[in-house]
Chain A
């Protein structure tokens, strides 16, 4: 709320108007043996401006992690993995680059922070060595120059007595401190894009707040773009400029963060928001039930992948795969849905399903999103 911190991250005059990242119809499929393939990312298009944050939310198995690795083209030339599409990053198509060239991009221009800092830091290397490594390779710094910068990076990310911690091994640090080291390492070569994959999922809530604040601050100071991948909608609500919601390998809704939450269009996003318990809610409030489970990515349904769990679903949703709607509103708020939330079609679809008590697939439809809380205990007010 404090106004001094509410400045947009955008800095006028930087860049030539082209987005930093422009992903077009990206597809990544894994050979699952026996002739079947798992299409983990299936036709995703995204753009990200310099200095901005894109939040990617989805449940486990939705393809968000594979998407982040695909965006970096980490699967280049890997056996058993097929990738398609275009990844325009800072004027180049990463898919057209060979591995040696990609290695100059990875770590230097695009850096990554992972969920588990214990397994992503080399356990037998001192923190200082890990930190210096990338700077010596990418920036050509000498051992001592890299070490000096490593110390100042550790200080910048809030590690007490950084000089001393340079000699620490990862196991000697707490989870939050390790994640700070990961972030320092990711920032070391001044990346234009930071990909943070569930960076706070393994951390306590107080530490989570500190780490997200740290990423925020570094982003503003460095004018760096961030892709923040998380399962936690409240994190993207408070931290991202734009949000892509993933379901079963597809982006089902993509919009500016405030638009996504205030004018939600995809039924999955709506259901996800209503399924989350919030501290603002009354105790024992009934949570919205999303029935069923996500589909198998080896054999996704022909129609909409959310149809069987969706309370709006009509026959068309079962037969036809909804495209990303082309007549998006002015703010670029797009969704893959024939009967979007809040539209006339959506309202009619919901009424029809409510009348027959089930959606087109036959899944019972829960009409009231949230029941009023049922006071149970004596002290409930």
Chain B
């Protein structure tokens, strides 16, 4: 998978954010590892792009690189055409307020010593002259109500008095306070129970409409990604495997890794008891266990070939030497794989 290229980038007027060939390295010299290895993606106004992949695939490193926290090792992040990686100081500060982020652990991402109203107001307060900050309070209360909290009941309390779901609501209100164009949600529901997860997903959907947000939604959970996304980017070991609209990715996956992910989801079907997941009925013979048992391996910066080849049932010699380039398979469906054949049906049995 794991490919290079930018065929999937769109040439549209309403591209709000374009990530171009971003590279993120962690560590220094000998222990240097490449978390993001040339990822490109773009985001239209009011669009939701889901980024899905397993732990260690570079999802969170990508999100931080977009926020310039810190700026990526290489590549460009363009917010309405302006490259943030070239901005410094006040200019960057002012661009950054237009991209806001919410995180996986909502309790840890709120300052435990501050009151809810102050937490929500903080970002905006930094942009408001000292004498005018009292006017923020009404907006804080409005936003708290928008995220489903009773401003009078919660405003003067502190994060520890709230559950994970409530803290995530506060974090969302804080992010919206700066009226961003882009919201990056990094695994925002992974730490929440299903009943709370549903509340937050519905809330994000409502707010996206109400505040006309574009959203990058990062998750390891394919069902969640399908629920929130218009377009999906599948990532493995720091590279893009497959990009497409939701229907293409979920109904006609082309990349072997996307197929493996889809096959691995436990299905709400009691009839499947004791049918090994790795070998669904419609799938061809499962790869031998020792092939797919490995997890994502961090790659060295000088690694060649497709990083998924070590787990890939279809790997051929070429995959070890040549990084596959992203190519179009249908209108809004792109895959980075030498061997993917596009007409093959999805690997998860009857839809």
Q: Which residues of A contact B (CB under 8 A)?
A: 1-2, 5-7, 9, 59-60, 158, 160, 174-176, 204-210, 212-213, 216-217, 220, 231-235, 237-241, 257-258, 261-262, 271-273, 275-281, 283-291, 293, 376-377, 379-381
Contact of B193 among A1, A59, A209 (CB under 8 A): A59
Tell me, in angstroms, the Cα distance from A377 to B351 when the chains sit together: 22
Q: B33 within 8 Å of A by Cβ?
A: no
B residues near A206, Cβ cutoff 8 Å: 54, 260-261, 264, 292, 295
Shortest distance in angstroms between B316's beta carbon and chain A's nearest beta carbon?
21
Tell me, in angstroms, the Cα distance from A287 to B227 when the chains sit together: 9
A residues near B69, Cβ cutoff 8 Å: none
CB-CB under 8 A for A278 and B223, given A1-B275, A234-B266:
yes
Between-chain CB contacts (< 8 Å), 11 pairs = A158-B293, A233-B268, A235-B266, A237-B267, A258-B271, A261-B270, A272-B194, A283-B230, A283-B246, A285-B227, A287-B198
Shortest distance in angstroms between B99's beta carbon and chain A's nearest beta carbon?
21
Tell me, in angstroms, the Cα distance from A352 to B107 when the chains sit together: 39
Q: B220 within 8 Å of A by Cβ?
A: yes
CB-CB under 8 A for A234 and B295, given A271-B195, A275-B197:
no
**Interface of chain B residues 244 through 292 with chain A (CB within 8 A):** 245-247, 250, 260-281, 289-290, 292
B35-43, B83-91, B121-129, B199-207: which lies at the A interface? B199-207
Tell me, in angstroms, the Cα distance from A75 to B196 when the chains sit together: 31
Q: B55 within 8 Å of A by Cβ?
A: yes
Q: Which residues of B contact A (CB under 8 A)?
A: 47, 54-55, 163, 165, 193-199, 201-202, 205, 220-224, 226-231, 245-247, 250, 260-281, 289-290, 292-296, 331-332, 349, 351
Task: Kindly count the residue-residue contacts between A and B in the assembled complex, taking CB atoms under 8 Å apart.
Answer: 185
Shortest distance in angstroms between A191's beta carbon and chain B's nearest beta carbon?
20
Tell me, in angstroms, the Cα distance from A207 to B265 when the chains sit together: 10
A residues near B274, Cβ cutoff 8 Å: 5-7, 9, 216, 220
Are B268's CB and A238's CB within 8 A?
A: yes
Are B295's CB and A204's CB within 8 A?
A: yes
Are A176's CB and B295's CB within 8 A?
A: yes
B residues near A234, Cβ cutoff 8 Å: 265-268
Tell me, in angstroms, the Cα distance from A231 to B193 when the chains sit together: 8
Nearest 5 A/B pairs, CB to CB: A59-B193, A290-B195, A287-B198, A275-B198, A204-B54
